[in-house]
Amino acid sequence: MMKVAIIGAGSAVFAYELMRDILVTPGLESGTFALVDIDPARLELSRQIAEKLIAVTGRNWRVEASTDRTKVMADTDYLINTIEVAGLENVRHDFDIPMKYGVNQCIGDTIGPGGIFKALRTLPAWIDILRDTERHAPDALVMNYTNPMSLTCLTGLRASSLPIVGLCHSIPYTAETLAGYLNLPVNEVKYRAAGVNHLAWLVELTHQGQDLYPRLRELAKDPAIYEQDPIRFEMMLHLGAFVTESSGHSSEYTPYFRKRSDLVEQYTRPEYLGETGFYANNWPQWREEAAEEVRQMVSGEAELDLERGVEYCSRIMEAIVTDVPAVIYGNVKNTGLITNLPEGGVVEVACLVNGDGIQPTYFGALPTQLAALDQQHMAVHDLVATAVLEEDREAAFYALMLDPLTAAVCSPAEIRQMFDEMAAVEASSLPAWMN
* 169 has catalytic annotation: yes
Helices vs. strands in the chain: H and E counts, helices first: 17, 13
Query: What span, in angstroms and rounded, lies between the C-alpha atoms of 253 and 231?
Result: 11
Tell me how far the alpha carbon of residue 82 is from its chain's centroid: 10
Q: How many CA atoms lie within 13 A of 250 on its CB side?
A: 23
| Angle (CA) 224 211 373, round 5° | 75
Long-range CB contacts (within 8 A, 24+) of 256-263: 257/231, 258/103, 258/104, 258/105, 258/106, 258/405, 259/102, 259/405, 259/408, 259/409
The answer to whether 158 and 389 have CB atoms below 8 angstroms apart is: yes
Which one of the listed residues 169, 198, 249, 381 is annotated catalytic?
A: 169
Strand (E) positions, 141-217?
141-144, 164-167, 189-196, 199-207, 210-211
Q: Tell me the residue type at 363.
A: F
Query: What span, in angstroms and rounded, lies between the C-alpha atoms of 435 and 426?
Result: 10
Query: What span, in angstroms and rounded, lies between the C-alpha atoms of 106 and 3?
Result: 37
Give the bridge partners for 5, in sequence order: 34, 79
- Run of H or E including 271: none
* Catalytic positions, written as ranges: 169
